[in-house]
Amino acid sequence: MGFADQRFNVNLSILFTELPLLERPAAAAAAGFSAVELWWPWTDSPTPARSELDALKKAIEDAGVRLTGLNFYAGRLPGPDRGALSVPGEESERFRANIDVAAGFAASLGCTALNALYGNRVEGVDPGEQDALALENLALAARAADRIGAILLIEALNQPESPLYPLVSAPAAVEVVDQVNAATGLGNAKFLMDLYHLSMNGEDLPSVIERYAARTGHVQIADNPGRGAPGTGSLPLEELLDQLKKAGYDGWVGLEYKPGDRPSAEAFAWLPAEARAAR
């Protein structure tokens, strides 16, 4: 097998960021990709103007690419917030206001995966209170995803870069997946397996794949160290993706790495051109 046997999309919130947002879908298409994913693009607004939503939708459609994944509002990314849904007060309210907006935008483009970042621990707030709020909001998000035929993704980040984020292992994230599915009865919550974050946490990646491939709804990759393209670090990403494939995972693999000191269009030499468009 190998990289040519995977289905890759490009995360336009970390690649092609040297371009304005509305130019990125066409740039991904010009680089040979047929699918893209996004963090919530409007970091200061969970409810942007309809004209902004329509402009991005048109840019994606005009580029001829598919939107295959979208984050719910999660505060400032990249930045210190790392999620909003478990943060009491204004941030969790902003997350709730975003749920139907994000789901509606995803539905308008046929996107079937929505990612909800859990949110940092807040000083002076009982972690149990945050966890109860998170479960309530994740259940709302799962129901909204279900209404558009989508899955809800729950992601583990890494402790060195997100020290206040509580889900910093595969088991911790999958436990929340189980809680959401139990709360809703829908079964549409899935694990987002980000191999970079898990490697930063020191997890045994082959064991994680063996244990959780069947629970995984999406995969993201970057090499480690450095969060660069495959081949810039030491992770055996080709082997790991082969293992995922053999374990039955046939979904998208999101390219969520930094291009380095070069234009993003030059950061794909590791992937043959004929392997970039989903078949």
Confidence of residue 78 (pLDDT cuts 50, 70, 90): low
Confidence of residue 79 (pLDDT cuts 50, 70, 90): low
pLDDT tens across 16-68, in order?
Answer: 999 999 999 999 999 999 999 999 999 999 999 999 999 999 999 999 999 99
pTM here is 0.96
Give the class (CATH, top level) of 3-271. Answer: alpha beta
pLDDT of residue 1: 66
Q: Which residues participate in catalysis according to the annotation? A: 155, 256
pLDDT tens across 230-277, in order?
Answer: 999 999 999 999 999 999 999 999 999 999 999 999 999 999 888 888
Closest to 168 measured CA to CA, from 160, 156, 176: 156
User: Has residue 77 got a pLDDT over 80?
Assistant: no
pLDDT of residue 80: 64
pLDDT tens across 255-267, in order?
Answer: 999 999 999 999 9
| Cα–Cα distance, 138 to 243 (Å, whole number) | 30
Identify the burial level of 140 via C-beta atoms within 10 angstroms of its C-beta, where 0-12 means exposed, 13-18 middle and 19 or more buried.
middle
Closest to 181 measured CA to CA, from 219, 148, 154, 208: 154
**Domain edges within the chain:** 3-271
pLDDT tens across 100-151, in order?
Answer: 999 999 999 999 999 999 999 999 999 999 999 999 999 999 999 999 999 9
pLDDT of residue 137: 98
